[in-house]
Structure 1
Amino acid sequence: MDHGSFKTRSTYCTLVNRSDTCKYICYFHTKAGMFYIGLTNASEVWRTDFTEEALTEHVKKFALKSTEDYISNIRSSCGNGSTSVFVQEDGAVLQLGMVSITLPRLGEPEGRAELRDLLFKMADSLTQQDTTGGPSSFSPGKSQFRRNTGFEPRTQQNGPTVTVKKRLPGDSLINPGSRKKRPATGVAFDDNDEV
Structure 2
Amino acid sequence: MAQSGISEDYSTKFREAFEHRTAALTVHNGRATLELKEDAWSLTFDLFKLPSSEARMRLQALMFGLMGCVSRLEKRLEAAEGAAAAAAAAVCRSEKNQPRNQKLLMPDPSPRKNQGGGSAVLAKRRVPGESLINPGFKSKKAPAGVDFEDS
Q: Which is greater in Rg?
A: 2
Q: Same fold (TM over 0.5)?
A: no
- TM-score per shorter chain, which class? 0.3 to 0.5
TM-score (norm 2): 0.41
The higher-RCO structure (CA 8 Å, 6+ apart) is 1
More helix by share: 2
TM-score (norm 1): 0.33
More strand by share: 1
